[in-house]
Amino acid sequence: MNTKIQRHRFSIGFTSSLLGLGLWASLATLPVSSRAEDSKAATMSKPKLSLGFSIDKMDTAVSPRQDFYRFAAGKWVDATVIPPDKVRVSSLYQLNDEVVAKQVQAILEQSAVQSIKAPKNSPLQQVGDFYASGMDVKRLEALGVAPLKPLVDRLNAINSPQTLAKQLAQVPLSLLLTAAVGPDKEDSTVNIVYFSIGDLPLSQERYLSPDAAAIRAAYLNYIAANLEIAGSSPSEAATAAKKLLAMETRIASKSLTPLEKKDPTKTFKRISFAALQSLLPNVDLKTYFKELSLPIDKPLLAIDLRALAEINQMLKDYSIADIKLYLRWQLLYQTKDQLTPAFNKPELAFKRVINGEKYELPSRTEWVSGQVISLFGHPVSQLYVKAYFSPQAKQQVEDMIGRIRTRFRARLVANPWLSPATRQAALEKLDRTMIKVGYPDQWIDYTRVAIRRDDYFGNTLNTAQFFQQRMFAQLGKPVTRDEFSIPRVTLPLVVNAAFNQGVNGIEIPAAFLQPPNYDAKVDPAVNFCAMGAVIGHELTHGFDSLGRLFDAKGNLRNWWTDADVAKFNAQTDKLVKQADAYEVLPGLKINGKLTVTENLADVGGVSLAYEALQEYLNEHPQDRRTIDGYTPEQRCFLSWAQLWAIKIREGELRNQVATDSHSPDAYRTFAPLQHEAGFFKAFGIKPGDPMWLDEKDRVKIW
């Protein structure tokens, strides 16, 4: 599924996530398969990988002083094969694919049976009927693209700036320009209007990099094939595809880079409505705002001024026919996965150019599950928590949170380089950091959403409209926040954890509290350097290169002295240098500036977890014992490395390096450990060893 169908439900881009895309991305961003062997594919045997820590994953023929990743997880790497319908495999992804996905699948299948007799608009009726509508392949094949016709007719009727603005406002999709409502970056107690361009189908790197020429060529064929299914002739589709790619490339060339997007002062610009209209004279913003009942007498936050200006220029350079072509393509791209499965053929062809000829699309059951989760996250999560969540695990993890937070606070108090004013502000921020585990105190009420068993497309559109109306209704009211609500990031059934700068809070979803992240049956060392390090990672995000720009209330505010900033940057520059030197593939290196926030969070997470473990062992000396030949300290670092062991397709890896603020997982297995003195002591690593990092190059910020 292309997630832009639900643009109005998302927060305004402020979440630092442990895993970047989140594990449901593999389900929610890929189209379903209509292959005859779907049911067979769903039951085919896949590699059975140990979810949690295991010495069987280690390759002890390799010295930890030479290659710690191979030592910690070499046998796992050698034995693991990426399934045809996946782009990566790791213990975390295995938790999602082989545990959580099956748990959710059981809930959905049972709901689909029981929903027929369930009360209308109850979570059971909505979830079950939504899932059943997506699984009705025969009906979807018979309908073809017919459900799209009313929206296409509306776009075809555009003949002026006024009608363009009206349709952009009324269609609950991000076709060209989009508005949203959310907490103000500088005052998180007040809601404000955000205005931006719509997202593009490809990453910026794939539009612009010379190395991505083959992907662009395949994308041209992909556009044309989709247009043909929608009714264009081959010649019309081919001509249109070239024009559409040129238009998208123009937008991409003027958009902020992934690195620039990490700076909120570059991304968000507070301007008046008049200033926005001046920037976009070719857009009838008065009509657009009127259709959405948005005020024009209050300031707003514009996102990516360069890209907005380019959209305005394109509205002048291109004919109305070309603009309508672009809108129809965006509409088709964002909704085709709720239409006939015929669209899977070009999708598979395109994905194979990126992921290899052996790549297959996910099964239909797998994909529809991801679709329902993305759109009906809270109702499905309610059923999931009731069936699978362990209150005991929550209590034990909350105890670990207390330990990690206490260690962090002690470090801030003893910090030798922060000025008194900055230290006091940091302590206030840490003390006010909210950490939630499991699920929200209050679930989102979906009872107003009409879900039918025979209308997959309509169900999706109705849900998007529900979130649009719900979001715009918040303007002018006190800020209320939906906990555990971001699809693929913080829903209770997502395998992830995340820090939200605008809230100054952390959410650890229920599904995350399972091996390899947390296992009540293993020794404390393993848990501290898995779950404990994740907690420390998220806490550190509040004080990383981005998080430090937000204060204790979640407001974008500089609370640092210039001298403190200089000292902070001197330390983070070491992380940039370390990452820049790491070669991911021949000729491809990590972008240290792009990944510095996540790399610092990893360093902080590991260090805090290790210190908290030492404190715990001092309190519980009976747990300071050697197991399978390894001390608690060694098992701690091995646990972290095994958590991030991964197999990933080259195309996916290259795109991650170009666009993601997270370093490749293989790097994460050892790089943060090199800043912890206990790591070198635990494995006898000495100067001259490949795993050694000179003390002058180590980071000690928090």
Tell me: the pLDDT tens digits for 515-568?
A: 999 999 999 999 999 999 999 999 999 999 999 999 999 999 999 999 999 999
How does pLDDT run across 357-401, given as a tens digit for each residue?
A: 999 999 999 999 999 999 999 999 999 999 999 999 999 999 999
Beta strands in 138-275 (DSSP E): 177-183, 191-197, 268-271
SS3 585: strand
Statement: residue 638 has pLDDT above 50: yes
Contact 500, 11 (CB under 8 A): yes
Q: What is the pLDDT of residues 233-261, one digit of tens each?
A: 999 999 999 999 999 999 999 999 999 99
Residue 299's alpha-carbon distances to 193, 275, 279, 350, 403, in angstroms, are 8, 9, 14, 42, 43
Please count the CA atoms within 13 angstroms of the CA of 170 that sit on its side-chain side.
14
Residue 25 confidence (pLDDT): 34
SS3 432: helix
> Does an H or E element contain 154, and which?
helix 149-156
Angle formed at CA 503 by CA 262 and CA 256, multiple of 5 degrees: 15
Token pair of 311 as six digits: 């959209």
pLDDT of 51 reads: 84
Domains of the chain listed by start with CATH number = 58-85+392-437+490-506+514-697 (3.40.390.10), 149-338 (1.10.1380.10)
Closest Cα partner for 676 from 542, 536, 573, 515?
Answer: 536
Tell me, what's the pLDDT at 302? 98
d(CA 197, CA 353) in angstroms, rounded, equals: 28
DSSP 480-532: ---TT-STTTTSTTSS--EEETTTTEEEEEGGGSSTTT--TTS-HHHHIIIII
Instruction: Answer yes or no: are the C-beta atoms of 643 and 92 closer than 8 Å.
Output: yes
Quick one: average pLDDT of 65-81? 97
Please give the backbone phi and psi of residue 476, each rounded to the nearest 5 degrees, phi first: 85, 0
Residue 15: is its pLDDT beyond 60?
A: no
**Which burial class, exposed, middle or buried, applies to 322 when counting CB atoms under 10 A from its CB (0-12, 13-18, 19+)?**
middle
Q: In the structure, what pLDDT confidence band is assigned to residue 50 with cuts at 50, 70 and 90?
A: low
pLDDT at 22 over 70: no
pLDDT at 226: 98
Q: How far apart are CA 435 and CA 293, in angstroms?
A: 35
How far is C-alpha 463 from the chain's CA centre? 21
Burial (CB count <10 Å: 0-12, 13-18, 19+), residue 573? middle
Beta strands in 105-201 (DSSP E): 177-183, 191-197
pLDDT value of residue 661: 96
Q: pLDDT at position 702, please? A: 84
**pLDDT for position 198:** 94
Q: Residues 491-513: what's their mean pLDDT? A: 96
- For residue 526, give both structure tokens: 């393993």
CA distances from 520 to 306, 366, 525 (A): 51, 29, 12
Whether the predicted pLDDT of 73 surpasses 50: yes
Would the pLDDT of 45 be above 70?
no
For the chain, give the mean pLDDT: 92
- Token code pair at residue 478: 């006190």
For residue range 209-231, what is the model confidence (pLDDT) as tens digits?
Answer: 999 999 999 999 999 999 999 99
Q: How far apart are CA 234 and CA 221, in angstroms?
A: 11
Strands (E), 198-279: 268-271
Residue 650 has pLDDT above 70, yes or no: yes
d(C-alpha 45, C-alpha 130), whole Å: 28
**Which of 28-32, 322-326, 415-419, 653-657 is predicted least confidently?**
28-32
| Residue 342 Cα distances to 141, 142, 323, angstroms | 8, 11, 26
Q: What is the pLDDT of residue 249?
A: 98
Residue 295 confidence (pLDDT) above 90: yes
Residue indicated by tokens 């079950």:
128
Residue 488, both tokens: 């693929």
Give percent of the chain with pLDDT exceeding 90.
92
For the beta sheet containing 434-438, the strands, ordered from the edge strand earlier in sequence to the opposite edge, are 15-17, 498-500, 505-509, 434-438
Query: Any idea which of 13-27, 41-55, 479-493 has the lowest mean pLDDT?
Result: 13-27
Burial 539-554 (b: 16+ CB within 10 A, else e): bbbbbbbbbbbbbbeb
Q: Are 350 and 219 in contact (CB under 8 A)?
A: yes
